[in-house]
Amino acid sequence: MTTLTENSAALVELASLLREEGYTHTTVTPATHARVNGRPGNTFARNAADVFGWSRPFLKDSLSAELFAAMARAQVLLPSDGAWRSRLRLSCLDDLTFWHSAYPTDAANAVFFGPDTYRFARAIQHVLATRRAPVRRAIEVCCGGAPGAILVARAHAEAEVWATDINPAALALAEVNARQADVPHVHTAISNLLTEVPGEFDLIVANPPYLNDAAGRAYRHGGGALGEALSLRIVRDGMRRLAPGGQLLLYTGAAMVGGKDPLREALQPLLDSQDVAWQYAEMDPDVFGEELETPAYADVDRIAAVTLTVTAPHGH
């Protein structure tokens, strides 16, 4: 793990102070976030969860002097019409905390964390609980704030664990989040998927962007007609990089059209052509329903959250 910058170290300190004060927050979908913030009385923050979870503007006396000073050291204070905002959110996953971008996540380099992250985490925990072979080397691609890499690193303290992304802002927060989780064996690298980290892996995990985002935001836009291109590439490239007995876990979205799953239809011949075992399943049948109102999804019935687990044979 690299040495943290002064600002990043201050973020670790800020997260610690918040947890000592009993901070907790579960991040919801953007649509739910907007509904909750739009309720009467929710215009301004009244407590730390409002500031760091709900991204509401706040007056200085809404927080303790210690927290406000820590925000200043971490350079997360943003002026907002006579008040202040936090430029980052802090979300909780079990006993872990993760910094990510404040709401709304409009910036091209926004760092994602949300309901998909919680589902992705449960899928990883299932793989870790059922895997019998050791994990000596692992990687999370499209890592964002690196929840996957951190979960794997906590479960396998002796493993070499990588977190890669094309977004430098994501990797900066990944390093902070790893320090908060006390997993110094998480390494970060700017990489287009697996390209900059050579070698084979016992475990590859990915929660890539999977929407067709008109704004082209990197954390949402998966490419292809329905956001599927990046997921297909991860599977194609990832299978070549699995060690004997290695596994690839992909958590992604599948746009269903006319009762059919085009993502699965594209994956099946690719998977069946290789000497691998695989399982594909829907984890949630209906996510990001608001996307169906956009032109790219005019013919889509629903978007499902799906998982694909690929296992390489031993001694391949």
Assess if residue 140 is contained within a domain.
yes
User: Which of 71, 101, 131 is a domain's end point?
Assistant: 101
Higher pLDDT, 215 or 52: 52
The answer to whether the CB of 113 falls within 8 A of the CB of 148 is no
User: Which pLDDT value is given to residue 4?
Assistant: 86
User: Which pLDDT value is given to residue 1?
Assistant: 57
User: Which pLDDT value is given to residue 37?
Assistant: 97
- Residues 155, 238, single domain; the answer is yes
The answer to whether the CB of 1 falls within 8 A of the CB of 185 is yes
- Residues 67, 27, single domain; the answer is yes
Instruction: Give the residue from 124, 122, 116 showing the smallest Cα distance to 144.
Output: 116
Assess if residue 143 is contained within a domain.
yes
Assess if residue 267 is contained within a domain.
yes
The domain containing residue 219 runs over which residues? 115-311
- Residues 11, 95, single domain; the answer is yes
Which tokens sit at 77? 């204070």
Which tokens sit at 206? 């990915």
User: Which pLDDT value is given to residue 169?
Assistant: 96
User: Which pLDDT value is given to residue 217?
Assistant: 86
- Residues 88, 146, single domain; the answer is no
Residues 197-214 as b/e (b if ≥16 CB within 10 A, e otherwise) read beeebbbbbbbbbbbbbe
Assess if residue 316 is contained within a domain.
no
- Residues 187, 226, single domain; the answer is yes
- Residues 23, 137, single domain; the answer is no
- Residues 174, 269, single domain; the answer is yes
User: Which of 74, 101, 128 is a domain's end point?
Assistant: 101
- Residues 184, 86, single domain; the answer is no
Assess if residue 43 is contained within a domain.
yes
- 305 forms beta bridges with 253, 284
Assess if residue 265 is contained within a domain.
yes
Residues 6+ away with beta carbon under 8 Å from 266: 228, 232
Q: How far is CA 120 from the centre of its chain?
A: 8
Instruction: Give the residue from 270, 273, 275, 297 showing the smallest Cα distance to 286.
Output: 297
Assess if residue 108 is contained within a domain.
no
- Residues 97, 141, single domain; the answer is no
The answer to whether the CB of 276 falls within 8 A of the CB of 216 is no
230: Cα within 13 Å, side-chain hemisphere: 27
- Residues 139, 167, single domain; the answer is yes
Task: Kindly tell me if the per-residue pLDDT of 312 is higher than 80.
Answer: yes
- What are the pLDDT digits (tens) for 76-122? 999 999 999 999 999 999 999 999 999 999 898 999 999 999 999 99
- What CATH number is attached to the domain comprising 222? 3.40.50.150
Q: Residue range 137-154: average pLDDT?
A: 98
Mean pLDDT across the chain = 95
- What are the pLDDT digits (tens) for 171-196? 999 999 999 999 999 999 999 999 99
Helix (H), strand (E), coil (C) string for 208-229: CCCECCCCCCCCCECCCCCCCH
* Amino acid identity at 152: V
Assess if residue 106 is contained within a domain.
no
The answer to whether the CB of 144 falls within 8 A of the CB of 111 is yes
User: Which of 101, 126, 147 is a domain's end point?
Assistant: 101
Question: What's the rounded Cα separation, in Å, for the pair 197 and 200?
Answer: 9
- Residues 95, 121, single domain; the answer is no
Q: With bands split at pLDDT 50, 70 and 90, how would you rate the model's confidence at 8? A: very high
Question: What's the rounded Cα separation, in Å, for the pair 147 and 157?
Answer: 15
User: Which pLDDT value is given to residue 316?
Assistant: 46
Task: Kindly tell me if the per-residue pLDDT of 34 is higher than 80.
Answer: yes
- What are the pLDDT digits (tens) for 216-233? 888 888 899 999 999 999
- Residues 210, 172, single domain; the answer is yes
Domain count, the chain: 2
User: Which pLDDT value is given to residue 299?
Assistant: 96
- Residue 291 region by backbone torsions, left for phi larger than 0, else alpha for psi between -120 and 50, else beta: alpha
Question: What's the rounded Cα separation, in Å, for the pair 291 and 226?
Answer: 11
